[in-house]
Structure 1
Amino acid sequence: MGSSGEGQLSRRERQIMDIIYRLGKASAKEVQDNLPDPPSYSAVRALLVTLENKGMLIHGKESRRYIYSPAINETKARNSAIKNLLSTFFNGQPKNLVAALLDENDSTLSQSEIDEIRKMVDDK
């Protein structure tokens, strides 16, 4: 996957990856049909090619259409994105990420979400 990958995806590219992970595989038309406020068909095709060039998708042919599927599984992609996030913004330290999530001045977490996180940590 190299230096590109899930950490450098645009909002639209992340939406497309979410759709393809959810469906397992999809044509450009199926992706377009599942996108909120979808761009043109040709724009969707261009985004799919971009994602393929980034190593996120592969394609095969069914009849006369290209069918896109993930090049890497969702867990690997998520782990790669988390590593990128940690190294870019949190000095590679998971505790710095958790501290940012729990910052009272900047947090969007509810008390019940914080309690759930505390339970997950305790369970580990």
Structure 2
Amino acid sequence: MEKAKIEDLPWRERQIVEVIYRLGEATAAQIQTELTEEISNSAIRAMLARLEDKGVLKHREEAQRYIYQAIEQKQVVADSALKKLVGVFFDNSPASAASALLGMADKLSTKDINQLQALIDKARKEGR
């Protein structure tokens, strides 16, 4: 089976994966605690098994517990999701996306401004 993309998962499975990314790794019981809606432990375990079948998660056994973690690194998934978001909502324009993000900020710290300026300077130097 081809590995599923996080953004294409059903919303409940995506919630579970997001919990695992937030915690780094988790048991079914930990996931159940993190979810805002009530869902049975057996339903969570069934979804975890499906997510393993889809190639999204893996587990290890420790003291008779299954501990789940994501197969793909969080940053790789974040980059993919961001590219899709910029493509869909900002016509593939990173500048438009950045403008929208900056417009959402009430105030930027000096550190944030310096970091953004360094990225702009680097892009200009590289001819991007």
TM-score, normalised on structure 2?
0.67
**SS of residue in 1 equivalent to 2:92:** coil
Q: CA deviation at 1:14?
A: 4.2
Q: How does 1:33-112 map to 2 (within 5 A)?
A: 33-102=33-102, 109-112=104-107
Residue segments in structure 2 that go unaligned for 5+ positions in a row: 120-128
Question: Deviations for 1:5-55, whole angstroms, at most 9, x for unmatched residues?
Answer: 233345544442333234332221121122223311122223323433443
Query: Number of aligned pairs?
Result: 118
Counterparts of 1:23 and 1:111, CA distance in 2 = 28
Larger radius of gyration, structure 1 or 2? 2
TM-score, normalised on structure 1?
0.69
Matched, 1:123 2:107: no
Question: Deviations for 1:71-120, whole angstroms, at most 9, x for unmatched residues?
Answer: 01111111111122122322322112123335xxxx6x243149876443
**Greater length-normalized contact order (CA 8 Å, ≥ 6 residues apart):** 1
Residue segments in structure 1 that go unaligned for 5+ positions in a row: none
Calculate the aligned-residue CA RMSD, in Å: 3.0
Counterparts of 1:54 and 1:60, CA distance in 2 = 17
1:33 alignment partner AA: T
The answer on whether the counterparts of 1:7 and 1:84 sit within 8 Å (CA) in structure 2 is no
